[in-house]
């Protein structure tokens, strides 16, 4: 495995990263560290995706089949339909922020550790 790691160039630049073999990828995939990273991504992203799609479809169905409810005026000319529509905007912004916070705190450090280990060829 070692021979394909190129030696450091003479002007002191960092050596080209080691290109891991399929064997190394298989080992990494089965490792507990990678399992944790996968779980941290999937257990966050999958339920959240289901949640926002259900909320969006609920909104679509309400618009279609609950006209009376959606037309209820809340204040002035602002009705339930408009508030729920703006609610979709708000939840989109919040989910984007929430996911990025999770990714920065929980995913990036784990991913970075695995990447540097693999590219170092250790």
Binding track, positions 62-81, relative to another protein; x by CB under 8 A: -xxx-x--xx-x-xxxxx-x
Helix or strand (DSSP H, E) at 105:
none
What's the CA gap between 101 and 98, in Å, rounded? 5
What's the CA gap between 58 and 51, in Å, rounded? 10
What's the CA gap between 69 and 62, in Å, rounded? 8
What's the CA gap between 84 and 122, in Å, rounded? 53
Q: Which residue in 49, 54, 105, 109 binds another protein (CB under 8 A)?
A: 49
89 binds another protein (CB under 8 A): yes
Contacts to another protein by CB under 8 A: 17, 19-20, 22-23, 25-26, 28-29, 34, 37-38, 41-42, 45, 48-49, 52-53, 56-57, 59-61, 63-65, 67, 70-71, 73, 75-79, 81-82, 85-86, 88-89, 92-93, 95-97, 99-100, 103, 107-108, 111-112, 114-115, 118-119
């Amino acid at each position: 495995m070692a021979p394909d790691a190129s030696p450091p160039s003479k002007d002191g630049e960092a050596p080209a990263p080691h290109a891991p073999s399929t064997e190394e990828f298989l080992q990494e995939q089965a490792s507990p560290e990678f399992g944790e990273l996968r779980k941290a991504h999937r257990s966050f992203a999958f339920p959240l995706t289901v949640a926002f799609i259900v909320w969006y479809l609920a909104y679509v169905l309400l618009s279609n089949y609950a006209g009376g409810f959606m037309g209820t005026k809340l204040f002035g000319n602002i009705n339930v339909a408009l508030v729920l529509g703006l609610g979709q905007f708000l939840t989109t912004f919040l989910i984007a922020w929430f996911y990025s916070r999770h990714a920065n705190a929980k995913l990036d450090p784990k991913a970075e550790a695995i990447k540097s280990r693999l590219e170092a060829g250790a």
